[in-house]
Structure 1
Amino acid sequence: MALPDIAETRKLSDTEINEQISGTRRELFDLRFQQATSRLENPHRFRHARVKLAQLLTVQQERERSAAPAN
């Protein structure tokens, strides 16, 4: 599984980004829970989820800064 591409993330709408942020945070929570109970089969999913979350938050922050009036 390849790492997520930020170009695809930039194509999403604001609503989709917010939904994916929530979903990715939930996925990370579930992965941590699986790891704590020794049921985690694919530990590389942690990295993919963290990268995806970072990209989503970066795009969200870029949009907020570009929408804010310049001082």
Structure 2
Amino acid sequence: MKAVDVRAMSEDQLNDELLKLKKEQFNLRFQQATGQLEKTSRVKTVRRDIARVKTIMRESAKAKA
């Protein structure tokens, strides 16, 4: 996910995307704990996507204030 794509999303879409990413992160952690995780690099990618979405949400909130 690119920052340009995230910036194009509305606030509701950002909240939905954040929720989806957090669920995926939980599932990946669960798979890793049980030894079923195949793509270990996906954990890092999801963490960065969560940080990217949170950062852009914060930037847009500051711009409104």
Classify the TM-score, shorter chain. over 0.9
Runs of 4+ deviating beyond 6 Å: none
Q: Greater CA radius of gyration, 1 or 2?
A: 1
What does residue 59 of structure 1 align with? 56
Root-mean-square deviation (CA, aligned residues, Å) is 0.6
Q: Which residue of the other structure, out of 31, 36, 53, is the alignment partner of 2:33?
A: 36
Normalising by structure 2, what TM-score? 0.96
The number of aligned residues is 65
What does residue 47 of structure 2 align with? 50
Shift of 1:47: 1.0
Q: Distance in 1 between matches of 2:34 and 2:49?
A: 24
